[in-house]
């Protein structure tokens, strides 16, 4: 599957206001798509991408659904949302979002993805939202269990968390150091240097022409340095931002997996308690009674002639029903936890592959930016050499021109 996002267009709508749409062209051989083998183009606005992200998250809670731009960095949305720079950055981030979906064996086949990429009546059809999964339904339980730790953490998933955390820490360090370097290479110093050289030409009139051309060379060099910095930010720094956001998405899925295991552990604990209570009811012993008051109350009831056998039968019946329900729930959560964990293992493998691919792309873009910069810089400085070499120690530069 190949997805290309291009041609952003600004629209004015009396009710919806101003918004931007992007042309999305998809070519795929997946049989689930209506135009399999043929390019299919549709236009979508940012809110449509939000719908796709949210729908996929609900449909596939065990999948690492790629994050959207703007959702992880508030700095990103500063400024004019309709400026060329903002739209260019957003288009590139949306391209990364769709690239990740197109590489995902499950997400690429989703009916929601097909609807997003093919439908000519998306506004009407996208009103359908899949029913929430058990993960969403268990939010209340998640809050209750928020501070409960796993009794038997799986080393495999603990290692995954450690890998993601260390990756995120390293990416944050790269971002911080890059911004420090980028601040120094914006070219402002060369612009100021050029202005100083230009001022010197007013004093050294015999080499005024050479000084003027040298100042223009510094300005040209400053310009290509700024262009390199802006291109780096677009292709490299944004790539780092997207990878950091991808780490957040991976950590969310790992937390959801822990919650599945925690549900199983807690229900198993309740089941053990119910079974133990049944055993104590069937075979009461003073040493087993955790509550002496209850023991004394039972003896008083016996003296009063209350049928303890009937009370015992009713209690056992309640416990049997409770145990049956808990056994079913333990089996269900055990299966869910195992299935969820199995999917997370596959997701993490895909996460690792995606990480390496995108790191490679980002580093190649960084290297290309510098190669292009140094080639242009060398050309700029080579052009000024004849001018400088022609300066005569007695006559100055005469009428030499570049």
pLDDT per residue over 299-337, tens digit each? 665 665 556 677 777 778 888 888 888 888 888 888 889
Answer whether residue 400 shows pLDDT above 50. no
Decide if pLDDT at 252 tops 90: yes
| Cα separation, 57 vs 53, whole angstroms | 6
Task: Please report the pLDDT score of residue 295 as a whole number.
Answer: 61
141-402: what CATH class? mainly alpha
pLDDT of residue 247: 95
Across 77-86, 135-144, 157-166, 322-331, the highest mean pLDDT is recorded for 157-166
Q: What residues have CB less than 8 Å from 322, skipping those under 6 apart? A: 274
CB 44 within 8 A of CB 22: yes
Per DSSP, the residues of 248-315 read: HHHHHHHHHHHHHHHHHHHHHHHHHHHHHHHHHHHS--GGG-S-HHHHHHHHHHHHHT--HHHHHHHH
Q: Taking a C-beta distance cutoff of 8 angstroms, is the pair 59, 133 a contact?
A: yes
Q: Does the structure show a pLDDT above 70 at 137?
A: no
HSE of 399, CA atoms in CB hemisphere, 13 A: 0
- Give the pTM: 0.79
Superfamily of domain 1-115+125-131 in CATH is Phox-like domain (3.30.1520.10)
> For residue 143, what pLDDT is reported?
41
Nearest alpha carbon to residue 212 among 195, 233, 229: 195
pLDDT at 186: 63
Mean residue pLDDT across the chain: 82
Instruction: Give the residue-averaged pLDDT of 3-27.
Output: 88
pLDDT at 197: 82
Where are the CATH 1.20.1270.60 domain residues in the chain?
Answer: 141-402
Query: What is the Cα–Cα distance from 386 to 233, expressed in whole angstroms?
Result: 35
Measure CA of the first residue to CA of the last residue in the chain; give whole Å.
52
pLDDT of residue 276: 87
pLDDT over 90, % of the chain: 39
239 within 8 A of 365, measured Cβ to Cβ: yes
């Amino acid at each position: 599957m190949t997805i290309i996002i291009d041609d952003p267009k600004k629209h004015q709508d009396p009710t919806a206001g101003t918004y931007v749409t992007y042309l999305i062209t998809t070519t795929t051989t997946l049989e689930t798509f209506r135009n399999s083998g043929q390019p299919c183009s549709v236009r979508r606005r940012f809110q449509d991408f939000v719908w796709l992200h949210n729908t996929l998250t609900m449909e596939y809670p065990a999948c690492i659904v790629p994050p959207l731009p703007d959702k992880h960095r508030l700095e990103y949305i500063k400024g004019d949302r309709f400026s060329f720079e903002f739209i260019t950055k957003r288009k590139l981030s949306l391209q990364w979002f769709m690239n990740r979906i197109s590489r995902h064996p499950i997400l690429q086949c989703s009916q929601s993805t097909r609807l997003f990429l093919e439908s000519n009546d998306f506004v009407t059809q996208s009103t359908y939202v899949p029913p929430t999964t058990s993960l969403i339904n268990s939010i209340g339980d998640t809050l209750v269990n928020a501070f409960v730790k796993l009794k038997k953490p799986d080393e495999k998933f603990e290692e995954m968390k450690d890998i993601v955390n260390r990756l995120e820490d390293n990416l944050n360090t790269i971002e911080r150091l890059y911004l420090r370097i980028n601040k120094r290479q914006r070219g402002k110093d060369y612009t100021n240097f050029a202005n100083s050289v230009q001022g010197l030409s007013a004093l050294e009139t015999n080499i005024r022409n050479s000084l003027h051309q040298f100042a223009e060379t510094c300005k040209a060099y400053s310009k290509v340095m700024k262009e390199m910095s802006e291109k780096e930010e677009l292709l490299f720094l944004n790539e780092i931002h997207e990878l950091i956001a991808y780490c957040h998405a991976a950590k969310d899925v790992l937390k959801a997996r822990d919650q599945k295991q925690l549900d199983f552990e807690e229900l198993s604990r309740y089941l053990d308690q119910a079974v133990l209570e049944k055993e104590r009811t069937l075979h009461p012993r003073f040493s087993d009674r955790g509550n002496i008051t209850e023991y004394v109350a039972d003896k008083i009831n016996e003296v009063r002639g209350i049928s303890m056998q009937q009370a015992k039968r009713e209690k056992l019946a309640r416990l049997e029903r409770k145990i049956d329900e808990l056994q079913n729930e333990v089996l269900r959560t055990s299966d869910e936890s195992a299935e969820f964990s199995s999917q997370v293992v596959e997701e993490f493998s895909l996460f690792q592959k995606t990480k390496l691919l995108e790191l490679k792309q980002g580093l190649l873009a960084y290297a290309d930016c510098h190669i292009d910069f140094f080639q242009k810089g060398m050309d700029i400085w080579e052009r000024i050499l004849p001018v400088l070499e022609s300066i005569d120690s007695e006559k100055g530069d005469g009428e030499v021109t570049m």
